[in-house]
Protein backbone atom coordinates (compact mmCIF):
# COMPACT_ATOMS: atom_id res chain seq x y z
CA UNK A 1 0.00 0.00 0.00
CA UNK A 2 1.24 3.43 -0.95
CA UNK A 3 -0.41 6.75 -0.05
CA UNK A 4 -2.09 8.34 -3.06
CA UNK A 5 -2.72 12.01 -3.83
CA UNK A 6 -5.92 13.44 -2.43
CA UNK A 7 -8.92 12.62 -4.54
CA UNK A 8 -7.37 9.54 -6.13
CA UNK A 9 -9.58 7.23 -4.11
CA UNK A 10 -8.88 3.61 -3.25
CA UNK A 11 -7.19 1.89 -6.18
CA UNK A 12 -7.38 -1.76 -5.18
CA UNK A 13 -9.23 -5.01 -5.85
CA UNK A 14 -12.82 -5.45 -4.70
CA UNK A 15 -12.30 -7.38 -1.45
CA UNK A 16 -9.52 -5.30 0.14
CA UNK A 17 -11.37 -2.17 -0.94
CA UNK A 18 -14.11 -2.96 1.58
CA UNK A 19 -11.56 -3.53 4.34
CA UNK A 20 -9.84 -0.22 3.56
CA UNK A 21 -13.17 1.61 3.45
CA UNK A 22 -14.12 0.19 6.86
CA UNK A 23 -10.71 1.32 8.16
CA UNK A 24 -11.41 4.87 6.99
CA UNK A 25 -8.69 5.00 4.36
CA UNK A 26 -9.60 7.42 1.56
CA UNK A 27 -6.68 7.60 -0.88
CA UNK A 28 -4.33 4.67 -1.45
CA UNK A 29 -2.64 2.73 -4.25
CA UNK A 30 -1.99 -0.98 -3.81
CA UNK A 31 -0.42 -3.81 -5.69
CA UNK A 32 -0.40 -7.51 -5.00
CA UNK A 33 1.52 -10.48 -6.24
CA UNK A 34 0.85 -14.12 -5.86
CA UNK A 35 -2.51 -15.81 -5.49
CA UNK A 36 -5.34 -13.45 -4.63
CA UNK A 37 -8.17 -15.91 -5.30
CA UNK A 38 -8.20 -17.07 -1.69
CA UNK A 39 -10.20 -14.18 -0.31
CA UNK A 40 -9.53 -15.02 3.33
CA UNK A 41 -5.79 -14.79 2.86
CA UNK A 42 -6.17 -11.66 0.75
CA UNK A 43 -8.22 -9.94 3.45
CA UNK A 44 -5.81 -11.12 6.15
CA UNK A 45 -2.85 -9.73 4.20
CA UNK A 46 -4.64 -6.39 3.81
CA UNK A 47 -5.41 -6.30 7.52
CA UNK A 48 -1.79 -7.12 8.42
CA UNK A 49 -0.64 -4.33 6.11
CA UNK A 50 -2.96 -1.90 7.90
CA UNK A 51 -1.62 -3.00 11.28
CA UNK A 52 1.96 -2.45 10.18
CA UNK A 53 1.07 0.94 8.74
CA UNK A 54 -0.44 2.08 12.03
CA UNK A 55 2.65 0.80 13.85
CA UNK A 56 4.58 3.91 12.75
CA UNK A 57 4.45 6.74 15.25
CA UNK A 58 3.67 9.78 13.15
CA UNK A 59 3.18 13.30 14.57
CA UNK A 60 -0.61 13.03 14.43
CA UNK A 61 -0.40 10.13 16.92
CA UNK A 62 1.93 11.95 19.36
CA UNK A 63 0.54 12.74 22.78
CA UNK A 64 0.68 16.33 23.89
CA UNK A 65 3.40 16.75 26.49
CA UNK A 66 3.12 19.06 29.46
CA UNK A 67 6.51 20.13 30.68
CA UNK A 68 6.90 20.93 34.36
CA UNK A 69 9.59 23.01 35.93
CA UNK A 70 12.35 21.27 37.84
CA UNK A 71 12.48 21.86 41.61
CA UNK A 72 15.55 24.07 41.16
CA UNK A 73 13.68 26.28 38.71
CA UNK A 74 10.56 26.34 40.82
CA UNK A 75 12.20 27.14 44.15
CA UNK A 76 15.25 29.11 42.96
CA UNK A 77 14.00 32.38 44.48
CA UNK A 78 13.34 30.72 47.83
CA UNK A 79 16.70 28.94 47.80
CA UNK A 80 18.47 32.20 46.92
CA UNK A 81 16.81 34.03 49.82
CA UNK A 82 17.68 31.23 52.24
CA UNK A 83 21.31 31.28 51.13
CA UNK A 84 21.53 35.05 51.63
CA UNK A 85 19.96 34.90 55.09
CA UNK A 86 22.27 32.06 56.13
CA UNK A 87 25.31 33.99 54.91
CA UNK A 88 24.17 37.10 56.77
CA UNK A 89 23.60 35.10 59.97
CA UNK A 90 27.05 33.49 59.69
CA UNK A 91 28.65 36.87 59.10
CA UNK A 92 26.85 38.32 62.11
CA UNK A 93 28.02 35.48 64.39
CA UNK A 94 31.64 35.78 63.18
CA UNK A 95 31.84 39.53 63.86
CA UNK A 96 30.12 39.34 67.25
Mean per-residue pLDDT of the chain: 83
Quick one: which of 63, 45, 62, 56 has its CA closest to 3? 56
Q: What is the CA radius of gyration of the chain?
A: 31
Could you state, in order of their start, the residue ranges of all structural domains in the chain?
A: 2-57, 66-96
End-to-end CA distance of the chain: 84
> Which alpha helices (H) appear in the chain, and where do they start and end?
14-23, 39-53, 71-74, 76-95
The pLDDT tens digits of the residues spanning 34-62 come to 878 888 899 999 999 889 888 777 777 78
* CATH code of domain 2-57: 3.30.230.10
The DSSP call for residue 69 is: -
Note the pTM of the prediction, 2 decimals: 0.55
The pLDDT tens digits of the residues spanning 17-29 come to 999 999 998 999 9
Amino acid sequence: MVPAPRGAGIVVARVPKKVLQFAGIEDVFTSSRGCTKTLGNFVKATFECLLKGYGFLTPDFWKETHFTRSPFQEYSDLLGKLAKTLLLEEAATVYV
